[in-house]
Amino acid sequence: MTAVAFSETRGDYKLSDDPARLDVDAIHAFLASAYWSVGVPRETVARALANSLAFGLYHRGKTVGFARFVTDRATFAYLADVFVVPEHRGQGLATWLVGTALTHPDLAGLRRLLLATRDKHKLYARFGFAPLARPERFMEIHDPDVYQRAQ
């Protein structure tokens, strides 16, 4: 695990893995209405952040994007919850966010990286993500209504 905060700057935008900078309320506000996590409780988001390698994307100090990797930092990572708020889209920030995050030292040399997406296949393909080579080897338990039942 890296001890020094990882950060990159692009104009007025800053990308950082510093957990102290993460704005749980801002991240929760977006995720609670995102198609993949509608209604997610704030406590669930906070717990996910605490147990992931998380990247905040900031514009003049305000959270405008986010991505996190669920990872053991040795063999595997799952990319989740990637977003850029609508008013900052169209500037290549999602590409910069994902591409830069993938250079993080704790993600180097992993055997497998996974993600799931409904509509951003072209974005992730730029970084080498492809459909599962052997989908018959993968299984899942998927409960899309878990947050609605938990309340």
Which domains can be identified in the chain, with CATH numbers?
Answer: 9-129 (3.40.630.30)
pLDDT at 143: 93
Cα–Cα distance, 117 to 24 (Å, whole number) = 23
- Using the predicted structure, report yes or no on whether residue 7 has a pLDDT greater than 80: yes
Average pLDDT of the chain is 95
Q: Which amino acid is at 55?
A: F
Name the pLDDT band for 3 (thresholds 50, 70, 90).
Answer: low
Q: What is the pTM of this model?
A: 0.94
Give the mean pLDDT of 87-114. Answer: 97
Cα–Cα distance, 105 to 77 (Å, whole number) = 13
- Using the predicted structure, report yes or no on whether residue 125 has a pLDDT greater than 90: yes
pLDDT at 10: 97
